[in-house]
Amino acid sequence: METPGTMEIDTQFGVVRSDVPWRLVVPDVELDLGLWPTVELDIDGAYAIEGPDDGSFVLDHPAPDNVWVSAKLGLYDSREEGAKSAWAIGAQLGPKLPVARDGHGLGYEGLLLLGKVWDDSHFVLNLGGLIDPGSEISRQRPVGIEGGIDTELDLGRWGLSVTGEIGAIRYFSPDPHELHATAGLNWGVTDQLDISIVGLAGFLSGGDHEGVLLGISPKFKLWQ
């Protein structure tokens, strides 16, 4: 959770390949704004330039993602003053705006978050579900349940940490299921700037199959 008045802009740039097309991510953006000690506003979306379905590396049309506007809520925090570790429970939920190509109608996504923090390392389990905006072509909404694990392990020197994620979506609609993993290195240059490099691999027919992303995440204090 960002402290009240602090905004973090988490941007990633890189090259990603889905089932066939390649695309240049310019960028993937997540904006986090602390509104209250237990309330955060998140806006998550991406803009990419994609290639044709024959798999050739030619980028010829825009491919924006739907935008998720959500509230992240801190429901429980066991941290006590002076403690180095804590458990936390939260939730993240909100509508998904149909800005993708052929997007139609509002969607919705909700997650329950369970986190463990020790020193500067953290572990987060998330479970939930989604109803994505439909397509102008099929008019069918992707509907599924999702889950994932995010980790960041502090290396204790030079502000470096190892990051990793594994996530999956099981669809009840005809959409192909997704299973992916990421691994990377994060460098906390200052308290207000992180730089990262992340590799991605997908293991099922849905979602992205491979990619490399460079992340730049500045923080700004908007009010006290």
* pLDDT band at 79; cut points 50, 70, 90: confident
CA-closest candidate to residue 24, choices 61, 54, 53: 61
67 found inside a domain: yes
Determine the structural domain holding residue 157 and report its residue range: 6-221
Q: How many domains does the chain have?
A: 1
* pLDDT band at 120; cut points 50, 70, 90: confident
- CA separation for the pair 70, 85 (Å, rounded): 27
- CA separation for the pair 187, 177 (Å, rounded): 33
pLDDT digits (tens, 9 = 90+) for 123-155: 999 999 999 998 876 667 999 999 999 999 999
- CA separation for the pair 15, 26 (Å, rounded): 9
| 70 contacts 104 by C-beta, under 8 angstroms | no
CATH number at residue 29: 2.40.160.40
- CA separation for the pair 184, 212 (Å, rounded): 10
84 found inside a domain: yes
1 found inside a domain: no
98 found inside a domain: yes
pLDDT digits (tens, 9 = 90+) for 148-159: 999 999 998 889
Residue 216 has pLDDT above 80, yes or no: yes
pTM above 0.85, yes or no: yes
pLDDT digits (tens, 9 = 90+) for 187-203: 999 999 999 999 999 99
List Cα–Cα distances, 103 to 6, 41, 45, 98, 170, in angstroms. 32, 23, 14, 5, 21
Q: What is the pLDDT of residue 59?
A: 77
Residue 5 has pLDDT above 70, yes or no: yes
166 found inside a domain: yes
Query: Is the alpha carbon torsion for 120, 126, 132, 138 positive or negative?
Result: positive
